[in-house]
Amino acid sequence: LMLRVFAFRLSSPGLAVFADRPRLLNVRYSTKATPDVYFTKEEVAKHDTEDDCWMIIHNKVYDVTEYAGEHPGGEVILDGAGKDATDDFEGNEHSDAARELLSEFCIGKLKE
């Protein structure tokens, strides 16, 4: 199933406005399974820049490097780079489509 959605940013809590140049993003609902690869928090911490951006959300590891420049909220995504960003992710109202898009970037699980 393919959906086309507008990218937007939040200018203030609860108020969505379209970016200066709104663009359509193709969002696919994924049935992609989580890879059976494990990373430690220390390994994830090494990937904490815009050019190499990994994060942990709900004990899964995501490489969002490719997406960081396209994030509708701008550079705020980098606040979670290299660390557990679960609270940051859940503290913002991400749509079901955003959650599905996130699943495309999952590269493994957090080693307990």
- Return d(Cα 25, Cα 99) in angstroms, integer: 14
Return the pLDDT at 33.
Answer: 74
| β strands within the chain, DSSP E | 2-6, 8-12, 15-18, 24-28, 38-39, 48-49, 52-57, 60-63, 106-110
pTM above 0.75, yes or no: no
Return the pLDDT at 94.
Answer: 85
- At 70 the three-state DSSP class reads coil
Return the pLDDT at 91.
Answer: 87
Reading the chain (112 residues) residue by residue, the pLDDT tens digits are: 444 444 444 433 433 333 444 444 444 445 567 888 999 999 999 999 999 999 999 999 999 999 998 888 888 899 999 999 999 998 888 888 888 999 999 999 999 8
Joined together, the tokens standing for residue 95 give: 């749509």
Closest CA to 92 of 6, 2, 8: 8
Return the pLDDT at 111.
Answer: 94
Return the pLDDT at 31.
Answer: 54
